[in-house]
Structure 1
Amino acid sequence: MEIRKLADQPPFTTKDGSTIRSILDAANAPVEKQSLAEATVPAGGATERHWHRDSEEFYFILEGRGEMEIDGERREVVPGDGILIPAGAWHQIRAAETLRFLCCCAPPYRHEDTFFE
């Protein structure tokens, strides 16, 4: 059985500029097909617009308010919103208030699978 406490996971910055704490991924558990992390984007901040060749992502907003852009379409996001980001889709999230959200990637997140304009 694999159980990881979020509070025990050290934060790191992804290539897109968000602060992440991996909850379960290949670095801390025998994960093969997905990863789960908590991401934080400070008020007024944004991730760098990017896409992933391999990974499909889900974001689940826990706290804050912001704007999600996927392939040019923009929508407000608030706590309780689940967001599908298909593999290959350009995306960016902007924080009107500090955003805290869960991010699930399948296959697991890798820096090498993050591409920019």
Structure 2
Amino acid sequence: MTIVSTNNAEHYVWGDNCDGWHLLKNPSLHVIQESVPPGRSEQRHTHSVAQQFFFILTGHAIMELEGQDYPLSAGEGIHIAAGKPHQFKNPYNDPVEFLVISNPTTRGDRNDLA
């Protein structure tokens, strides 16, 4: 058994200088920690099969889900059901750190939207 942290997890960069760490990579359960700098966001998209839960560790963010904005603060989370259009945004002045828990993995299950 290995203890996992952002110090030893597989790191990746996505979007415009956003960071991610694969804390658990399993076909049936995927857990990542991500950091989004101020003023950045991901592209609006859906997942055909995977459901996700976003949980804010530090900072503030907005989750746009099916055209409605949901403000989130540290200690709060939101469930995204499979097939629902969504976009994670950080319009604030500080970075946001959060967990994304996906079941099953989102590998090959992302459909970007305009």
The TM tier, using the shorter chain, reads: 0.7 to 0.9
Q: Which structure's residues are more often helix, by fraction?
A: 1
Q: C-alpha distance in 2, partners of 1:39/1:104?
A: 11
Matched, 1:85 2:76: no
Instruction: Compute the TM-score of the two structures, normalised by the length of structure 2.
Output: 0.87
Could you say what secondary structure the match of 1:87 adopts?
Answer: coil
- Unpaired runs of 5+ residues, structure 2, are none
- Which amino acid in the other structure matches residue 67 of structure 1? I
Aligned counterpart, 1:34: 29
Letter in 2 for 1:8: N
The equivalent position to 1:106 in structure 2, one of 77, 87, 103, is: 103
Q: 1:109 to 1:19 in 2, by over 3 A?
A: farther
Distance apart, 1:9 and its partner CA: 1.3
Q: What whole-Å deviation, never above 9, does each CA across 1:45-90 have from its counterpart, x for those lacking one? A: 0111111111100010001112110011112111011110111011
What TM-score, normalized to structure 1? Answer: 0.84
CA separation of 1:81 and 1:72: change in aligned 2, threshold 3 A: same
Q: CA deviation at 1:2?
A: 5.3
- Is 1:115 the counterpart of 2:100? The answer is no
1:64 aligns to what? Answer: 59
**Cα RMSD for the two superposed structures:** 1.5
Give % identity.
Answer: 28
* Alpha-carbon distance, 1:3 to partner: 3.7
Q: Is the 8 A contact 2:62 2:71 kept in 1?
A: yes
Q: Secondary structure at the match of 2:7?
A: helix
Instruction: Render the CA deviation track for 1:3-45: whole Å, top value 9, x for unaligned.
Output: 423310132135xx352100011xxxxx331111101111110
Q: Which blocks of at least 5 consecutive residues in structure 1 are unaligned?
A: 26-30
Give the length in aligned residue pairs. Answer: 109
